[in-house]
Structure 1
Amino acid sequence: MQELHIYNSLTNKKELFTPIQKGYVGMYVCGPTVYSNVHLGNVRTFMSFDLVFRYLQFLGFKVRYVRNITDAGHLTDDQSEDKISTKARLEKVEPMEIVQRYTVDFHETLAEFNFLPPSIEPTATGHIVEQIEAIKTILDAGLAYEINGSVYFDVLKYNENEHYGILSKRKLEETIENTRDLDGQSDKKNPQDFALWKKAEPEHIQRWPSPWGIGFPGWHLECTVMSTKYLGEQFDIHGGGMDLKFPHHECEIAQAQACNHIAPVRFWMHGNMLTLNGKKMAKSTGNNILPSQLLTGDSPFLSKAYHADVVRFFMLQAHYRSILDFSDEAILSAEKGYQRLMSAVVELEKLRAGSSSDFDVSEWRNLCFEAMNDDFNSPILIAHLFDAVRVINGIKDGKLSLLAEDLEMLKTTMNSFIIEVLGLRVKEQQGDFSDKIKATVQMLIEIREEARANKDWALSDKVRDDLAAVGIQLKDGKDGTTFSLN
């Protein structure tokens, strides 16, 4: 078996992946802050790590995948109140109503796109005690200070022996220059210090008792606490969006080093952003689209609705570290490719072995593994799958042949990479195709045959052309008319 290499954001290079414990992988991914509907950029990030999770399991690793739910402590820009409390105040409901509503939305959305659930999905509110204990440890180490009921991490003190900026490659003076003048800033010794615990003002809804008074945890602390609790003081992979590298992940490293005196993560992985029509997605500018709108087509950016698997296929056509631009034109093109792939998989089950092999299936299979072993390169994998599509169509048309063992390897490999690794629901699509589309298309073929018998060539051509426009190709032969997906 070829060796897996992963691009490590900590070193900015691809490295041979060897887990800390042979046969086991611990992976933590920063989950959503559940104060609004999950957006399409989130879906792309989580899909990238769903791919990683699937492939590691496909290789035979036993993976513990931890993805948290932030249901407290995510501060807004003015650092006076976290996002969930702000939303609850606006809607005049309990914060946990907001949390419940959008956690359900998050799970339902990811299920639509066929995500595997994580092994553990801990919440920030479920780990308040552990966060308080971590703060005590950091205070005892002399790397934090309490003032006016809040506790802050002392970045300058930490930087005397460690490197704050090791992940983002930022110098400490740059972090000072880039620090905004935020609420509570006057309490800090230094502007770049970050909150471990914030004093709750009387109007703050989410609040817990602590040795420093009533308050709530800082946003960064929960991920340090939950990742190390469930994966150990040092674990294999930590993932998230590129936007979390600084300050969130940088702060995670500092907190973990202060608590456990060891680098918490061996491989840091960061997914890149999703743009819409060449511009950053943002609710404020209206350049935004929700995952649910893709499935209904209810958006001015879309010409039609798309199946969730088409969206998944579209996203996996780009490498997780590259920017992906979403547009209606791009996903229309992806839909055609997806249909070609699904059609070939359906045809593959019908093929019969020949007397010779005109295609080296073993070499092709190795190329599929080689693509995924090169930092989970799904677009290259998909390109190899389409090499197989051409072979399948060649066998179907009588132009190519495969021996029985090669044909079986082709079937097994195609199904394994498409279903298990890429997470596309071939069987479901095959069922939909057989049960719904086949009967409809057959009826149209009969109408066309009747039109041809009556020499109504205009109607005959219209049926053929209209079907072709939606990706269904009619083929006239001596045994009648058949059809396939383009």
Structure 2
Amino acid sequence: MEQNFFIYNTLSRKKERFEPLHAPNVGMYVCGPTVYGDPHLGHARPAITFDVLFRYLKHLGYKVRYVRNITDVGHLEHDADEGDDKIEKKARLEQLEPMEIAQYYTNRYHDAMNALNVLPPSIEPHATGHIIEQEKLVEQILDNGYAYVSNGSVYFDIEKYNKDHHYGILSGRNLDDVINNSRELGGVGEKHNQVDFALWKKAQPEHIMRWPSPWSEGFPGWHCECTAMGRKYLGNHFDIHGGGMDLVFPHHECEIAQAVASQGDQMVHYWMHNNMITINGQKMGKSLGNFITLEQFFTGNHASLDKAYSPMTIRFFILSAHYRGTVDFSNEALIASEKGLDRLLTGITDMKRINTENASDAEVAKFVAGLPQRCYDAMNDDLQTPIVISCLFEACHLINTIIDHKAKISVEDLQKLNDTINLFAFDLLGLKEEKGNDNDAREDAYGKVVNMVLDLRAKAKSDKDWSTSDKIRDALSEAGFEVKDTKDGCTWRLNK
């Protein structure tokens, strides 16, 4: 399907028309989680963002190889050159093997992603399964003169690289002053400069997880894994590298430096970054201790939550904002998302109740004909999911208007409307009906009783016993059921 799809490239700082390097094949790499704790809301946003991108690229006809890594050793995370390995620390506390901890939380992450209807990636490589590839990357950087060995560890030489290529092109940082100032600082230890980052670290005696290398028994630096695994599965040049905005510096900046230092040119064409989820304006994350796990959202078991929220409510909440905008958590925002999702799903269900006519009204036909391209235009404009949702809400309003016999629609236009809504709501945005929740169970249990009571109300109306008819309607309303009279009878639904 020919579409002019534009995405924002963090590297160029502008929207660019998406033109794959090897169309119709597309290579996409996204930084996955470090698995030492339960997945939280901050994990959900990149997963859902790039899930929508994955779905849309496939819909456009591309053959997408989507790689999302698992960082299964804590010392490969962030600036842990001198810090604790959180997985090893947890393993000691719980008297388990580190890989037991990693596997347990990897399984928890997969369960959460499945609940959020996030499609699995094409390949999900683990950092510990690609030590050889990371060592090879380090050797290439050493051979090209952009790294040095110090006491069994290997560090990237920022000063040397910065003179030849400029370090900071993704984040816009100028490190000349930082490099000069670092010389005046004490405690740089093995490094030539404070800003040099570890490519390989010699393991201390107490370190559990270690691998042999030409330099020492140790482990790769955090930044190596994505560069090494991206190249292994997508080649030296691939289309998209994604992740959270907090990874722009230092992680993705270091990835660019590693790729150029090892192979001589850029590895990635488009860099894409989703913004953060915040709580009271502060980034949500494990390091700050202000995160809420996805399981806590699903169960309501957290002091900051007024109630439980379903996985699709969380997905709808995230999609209701553009992926590059900040989303601030609040119960009010989640309740609004819950109501919005219910409104959308109810509208989709209500399409089954529409009585078609031989021809549509002119305005109805115009709306139905234009809806697909309006949704495509929004998706093509750097995945404007809030605009797509707004278009779908307009469609739901039209559905209600038709049900109320204030507009007419033909069989053909109803099918087009149904196809468009299902394509964008379910196939591309990844929403789905959530069966098995409390409301569904109660509807199944009470359905026959409610229908029987409504039959009694219909009998009262036919007998012109308006008092009994109104009494039945009011009693159902007090019990949480919404009864709506239509030209063709009445309908009911259980309010949330």
Q: TM-score of the superposition, structure 1-length normalised?
A: 0.91
Is contact 2:30–2:67 with CA below 8 Å preserved after alignment? yes
Q: Percent identity between the aligned chains?
A: 51
- Assess, with a 3 A threshold, how the Cα gap between structure 1 residues 398 and 481 changes in structure 2: closer, same or farther: closer
Q: Which amino acid aligns with 1:130?
A: E
What does residue range 330-479 of structure 1 map to in structure 2 within 5 Å?
A: 330-354=333-357, 355-357=359-361, 358-359=363-364, 360=366, 361-426=368-433, 429=435, 436-437=442-443, 439-441=445-447, 443-444=449-450, 446=452, 461-467=474-480, 473-476=482-485
CA distance in 2, matches of 1:116, 1:137: 35
- Assess, with a 3 A threshold, how the Cα gap between structure 1 residues 179 and 433 changes in structure 2: closer, same or farther: farther
How far residue 140 of structure 1 moved from its aligned partner, in angstroms, is 0.6
How far residue 41 of structure 1 moved from its aligned partner, in angstroms, is 0.5
**More displaced 10-residue stretch of structure 1: 447-456 or 119-128:** 447-456
What residue number does 2:201 align with? 198
3-state SS, counterpart of residue 219 of structure 1: coil
Is contact 1:356–1:403 with CA below 8 Å preserved after alignment? yes
2:235 counterpart of 1:228: no
CA distance in 2, matches of 1:128, 1:476: 67
- Assess, with a 3 A threshold, how the Cα gap between structure 1 residues 177 and 334 changes in structure 2: closer, same or farther: farther
CA distance in 1, matches of 2:97, 2:130: 19
- Assess, with a 3 A threshold, how the Cα gap between structure 1 residues 257 and 295 changes in structure 2: closer, same or farther: same
CA distance in 2, matches of 1:279, 1:241: 15
Q: Which amino acid aligns with 1:410?
A: L
How far residue 179 of structure 1 moved from its aligned partner, in angstroms, is 7.6
What residue number does 2:52 align with? 51
2:37 counterpart of 1:30: no
Deviations 1:95-114 (A, max 9, x none): 11111111111111111111
**More displaced 10-residue stretch of structure 1: 343-352 or 11-20:** 343-352
Is contact 1:138–1:255 with CA below 8 Å preserved after alignment? yes
CA distance in 2, matches of 1:238, 1:448: 56
2:332 counterpart of 1:329: yes
- Given candidates 290, 296, 309, the residue that maps to 1:293 is 296
How far residue 478 of structure 1 moved from its aligned partner, in angstroms, is 7.2
CA distance in 2, matches of 1:233, 1:328: 45
How far residue 259 of structure 1 moved from its aligned partner, in angstroms, is 1.4
Deviations 1:205-250 (A, max 9, x none): 1101100011100000010000011111111000000110000000
- Assess, with a 3 A threshold, how the Cα gap between structure 1 residues 181 and 305 changes in structure 2: closer, same or farther: farther
- Given candidates 91, 94, 102, the residue that maps to 2:94 is 91
Q: Which amino acid aligns with 2:386?
A: P
- Assess, with a 3 A threshold, how the Cα gap between structure 1 residues 41 and 135 changes in structure 2: closer, same or farther: same
CA distance in 2, matches of 1:161, 1:478: 76
- Assess, with a 3 A threshold, how the Cα gap between structure 1 residues 363 and 448 changes in structure 2: closer, same or farther: closer
- Given candidates 144, 153, 158, the residue that maps to 2:156 is 153
Q: Which amino acid aligns with 1:232?
A: G
Moved over 3 A (4+): 75-78, 173-185, 277-280, 282-287, 428-436, 444-460, 476-481
Count of aligned residue pairs for this structure pair: 481
How far residue 287 of structure 1 moved from its aligned partner, in angstroms, is 3.5
**More displaced 10-residue stretch of structure 1: 92-101 or 72-81:** 72-81
What does residue range 10-159 of structure 1 map to in structure 2 within 5 Å?
A: 10-72=11-73, 73-75=75-77, 77=80, 79-159=82-162
Q: Which amino acid aligns with 2:278?
A: T
Is contact 2:276–2:284 with CA below 8 Å preserved after alignment? no
**How much is the aligned-residue C-alpha RMSD, in angstroms?**
2.8
**More displaced 10-residue stretch of structure 1: 79-88 or 475-484:** 475-484
Structure 2: 5+ residue runs without aligned partners? none
2:16 counterpart of 1:3: no
How far residue 396 of structure 1 moved from its aligned partner, in angstroms, is 1.4
3-state SS, counterpart of residue 125 of structure 2: coil
Q: TM-score of the superposition, structure 2-length normalised?
A: 0.90
CA distance in 2, matches of 1:160, 1:69: 33
3-state SS, counterpart of residue 159 of structure 1: helix
Is contact 1:449–1:460 with CA below 8 Å preserved after alignment? no
3-state SS, counterpart of residue 209 of structure 1: coil
CA distance in 2, matches of 1:48, 1:95: 30
Deviations 1:58-113 (A, max 9, x none): 11111000000112342565624433223223333211111111111111111111
Deviations 1:364-393 (A, max 9, x none): 210000000000110000000111111111
Structure 1: 5+ residue runs without aligned partners? none
**More displaced 10-residue stretch of structure 1: 411-420 or 169-178:** 169-178
How far residue 322 of structure 1 moved from its aligned partner, in angstroms, is 0.5
**More displaced 10-residue stretch of structure 1: 65-74 or 431-440:** 431-440
**More displaced 10-residue stretch of structure 1: 444-453 or 70-79:** 444-453
3-state SS, counterpart of residue 473 of structure 1: strand
CA distance in 2, matches of 1:480, 1:413: 28
What does residue range 244-283 of structure 1 map to in structure 2 within 5 Å?
A: 244-282=247-285
CA distance in 1, matches of 2:214, 2:157: 19
Is contact 2:439–2:494 with CA below 8 Å preserved after alignment? no
Q: Which amino acid aligns with 2:474?
A: D
Q: Which amino acid aligns with 1:296?
A: T
How far residue 325 of structure 1 moved from its aligned partner, in angstroms, is 1.2
**More displaced 10-residue stretch of structure 1: 110-119 or 341-350:** 341-350
CA distance in 1, matches of 2:314, 2:52: 14
Is contact 2:356–2:411 with CA below 8 Å preserved after alignment? yes
Q: Which amino acid aligns with 1:346?
A: T
**More displaced 10-residue stretch of structure 1: 432-441 or 352-361:** 432-441
- Assess, with a 3 A threshold, how the Cα gap between structure 1 residues 226 and 78 changes in structure 2: closer, same or farther: closer
Q: Which amino acid aligns with 1:483?
A: W
